Structure 1
Amino acid sequence: NGVGLQTPRGTGTSGYVQKNVATGNTEGFRQKRARAEAEEERKEANQRMHAARRNARHEIIEHNKKRSVEVKCMEYRALLEDKGLEDDVIYKMVDTRRNELM
């Protein structure tokens, strides 16, 4: 692999190559700060994503509640129309029922 001596003859060594553990991490202050800022930015983006999901779930739940109220109102309207009531009376009764359900 090109590390070490071609031949250990005449050097007084066995030719064994060791890793130098004294060098340690050479990452400087700027690199550490940049890495920390990038990590913080990733965390904030992750939090924004989770907040958007929570908000979307809330909106879906609200939509489903409103939809179920409208379904009940339409069933009530069909019942009143079968009874043969006038449109103005039906509209007022359905509107009252909608306000009660919400």
Structure 2
Amino acid sequence: MYGNVGLATPRGSGTNGYVVRNLSYIKTRKDNVQYESLDEIKAKSSSYLNRKPNKDILKHEKKRQVEIKCIDLRRQLEEAGQTEEEIEERVNAFRNALLSAVDAVKDDKNIQEHQVHQLTQAKAVENEKMMKALGIRPNNYVEGASFDRELQAQKKVERAAQREKEMEER
């Protein structure tokens, strides 16, 4: 190759050896990309955003934490040299006390990224607090209603009719 491009040598080729790309070549696309419609995107995103946490998984995780604490207690008691019956009795009492309070335990801090159900539960609690702070009642709230022009026009007409009615009563 002459200069690592094109011909090995320009001698006898009738050219000067300079390689030029073909500017008239049009690349063809292999496949046309099929994009999702706006309705499909909305359906997917709303189902993902409104996903509720699985209560069974949350309860299992709390019970798992209780068992970890029981194992730690058992290890401490074994190191202290207590008998097996005393250990079983104290661990069972400790386990029962923790399990009775398992629903009262709030473990929202230090939630890690892989704990999806804990994250969704914490987000639901946060959204609930925000709705309460803004005075939004969940029974009459419809997500995305503020962007529905027809509904907003209908509400505007209803408010105007209500104002007129109030004015007549005065």
Scaled to the shorter chain, the TM-score interval is 0.3 to 0.5
Higher relative contact order (CA 8 A, sep 6+): 1
TM-score (norm 1): 0.46
Larger Rg: 1
